[in-house]
Amino acid sequence: MDDQPRLMHSSHGVGMAGHPGLAQHMQDSTGGADGEGRKQDIGDILQQIMTITDQSLDEAQARKHALNCHRMKPALFNVLCEIKEKTVLSIRGAQEEEPPDAQLMRLDNMLLAEGVSGPEKGGGSAAAAAAAAAAGGGGPDNSAEHSDYRAKLSQIRQIYHTELEKYEQACNEFTTHVMNLLREQSRTRPISPKEIERMVNIIHRKFSTIQMQLKQSTCEAVMILRSRFLDARRKRRNFNKQATEFLNEYFYSHLSNPYPSEEAKEELAKKCSITVSQVSNWFGNKRIRYKKNIGKFQEEANMYAARTAVTATNVSTHGSQANSPSTPNSAGSAGSFNMNSGDLFMSVQSLNGDSYQGAQVGANVQSQVGSTLNFREGSGCSLALALSDANGGWQDAPTPSSVTSPTEGPGSVHSDTSN
DNA sequence: GTACATGATTCGCA
DNA sequence: TGCGAATCATGTAC
């Protein structure tokens, strides 16, 4: 406590000594007739200011009022303000000129790109689509995951804006409060408008730091969400049995050309409750793995062939009775797949001498290992032969017209024994 | 825990 | 751009 008067007096001394213009100021404002008397006045005022903290509240209030009414007060405050301007605040002012924060700009750009800040873009659907595209997905098939991503991103966006508003509101309130306080205090201590303005800037900078932390946290949240979204996409889930059945049916029914069109893929995706991309992946994997190990898949092929043949037989029977084309897939959903009207798949395994009788075409067919016969009903029950060649490539099945001679009967077989 | 199955991803190619 | 091939990563059966 003892230090304070000493410091005050010290600063008083420095202030007066360091500001030779004070006496002049006093003279200017008072006419300079009785300089000594005025100096005494100033000394009294300063003394009162210095000792104001040692007084009781009531005494201080009374002294404050007396000081405020003192004729020398405005001049004294002007001088003190000038001294402040030329010392501490000038140093602080030099530090205020900071370059725009690069990190803040990065954060702003990222938030804008992710659709968190800036105008509402469907809750960041563009970013979600970009994320989906990056993960190899696309189209309406990922809508469930997209909507989940969008919902969470929208949540982040909402929290971000709520917090931002809170900060801005708090910043404004605090700024107003400080300004009012400083204006109030400027009645009893020398505070220039410039200093108030500077203080406001300091407050804004402090709140900007908080805002940056908020932006950083939001960016982190978006990054976590995004990585989880991508991870979830990568996470493998086995398709259900029915989906695999549908895919296998199509694959073995189109062994001659197991490249489903976009429409077929969409149809399969719909039936299997998977995405078009997944259908593409499945066929890609299937073709590779089938070619790598035809023998292993032969049993599976036979199973689907038999099933398809039975279905086709049934359908054919009813179909011929009804005199209408049929679509023999075991699921019985006519026309669901991109099959030629009346495609009948038949796989022949000669290893154990088994042969499947295509009831519809009425022919006993025995062929080479790995060869696959694709019977096409249609005009004259034409027969297309499809097989995977020795090089592992797929040989396109001839079109019915190209393999069907008008003279060929149901039992005619185009057989490629290259395998 | 291990081997195998299988969906997803990546990369090079035509 | 779609495909084949290789590979990764995870699910599943034992």
- How many Å from the CA of A332 to C1' of B7? 27
pLDDT at A324: 34
CB under 7 Å from strand C: A 234-238, 259, 280, 284-285, 287-288, 291, 392, 394
Which pair of structure tokens corresponds to residue A9?
Answer: 């007096």
State which nucleotides on strand B lie below 7 Å from a protein beta carbon: 6-10
Comparing A280 with A376, which gets the higher pLDDT? Answer: A280
Task: Name which residue leads in pLDDT, A299 or A9.
Answer: A299
Which of A32-41, A122-131, A314-323 has the weakest average pLDDT? A122-131
CA separation for the pair A73, A52 (Å, rounded): 15
> What's the CA–C1' distance between A103 and B1, in Å?
48
The pLDDT of residue A21 is 45
Is pLDDT above 60 for A380? no
> What is the predicted pLDDT for the residue at A226?
66
pTM of the model: 0.41
Q: What is the DSSP string of A259-288?
A: ---HHHHHHHHHHHTS-HHHHHHHHHHHHH
Distance CA A283, CA A252 (A): 11
Q: How far is the CA of A115 from the C1' of C1 (A)?
A: 29
The CA–C1' separation of A231 and C9, in angstroms, is 11
Which SS3 state, helix, strand or coil, does residue A117 take?
Answer: coil
Separation CA A52–CA A188 (nearest Å)? 11
**What does chain A come to in residues?**
419
Q: Which residue is nearest to nucleotide B8 (CA to C1')?
A: A234
Between A219-233, A296-310, A359-373, the lowest mean confidence (pLDDT) is in A359-373
CA distance A280 to A266: 10
CB A347 within 8 A of CB A338: no
Strand C bases contacted by the protein (CB, 7 Å) = 2-7, 9-12
What does the pLDDT look like over A159-216, one tens digit per residue?
Answer: 888 888 888 888 889 999 888 888 888 777 778 777 888 888 888 888 888 888 888 8
SS3 at position A41:
helix
CA-CA distance, A106 to A216, in Å (whole number)? 10
Establish whether the CB of A239 is closer than 7 Å to any nucleic acid atom in strand B. yes
Distance A284 CA to B13 C1' (A): 16
C1' nearest to CA of A391: which nucleotide?
Answer: C4
User: Is residue A115 a contact partner of residue A69, using CB atoms and an 8 Å limit?
Assistant: no
Predicted local confidence at residue A316, as pLDDT = 58
- Per-residue tokens: A312: 């086709």
pLDDT of residue A180: 87
Q: Separation of CA A289 and C1' B12 in angstroms?
A: 19
Helix A3-18 with A73-86: angle, nearest 10 deg: 90
Highest mean pLDDT among A185-194, A388-397, A407-416: A185-194
CA of A248 to C1' of B13 (A): 28
Q: Is the CB of A138 under 7 A from strand B?
A: no
Q: Which two tokens stand for residue A269?
A: 């995706």
Mean pLDDT within A365-369: 33
AA identity, residue A6: R
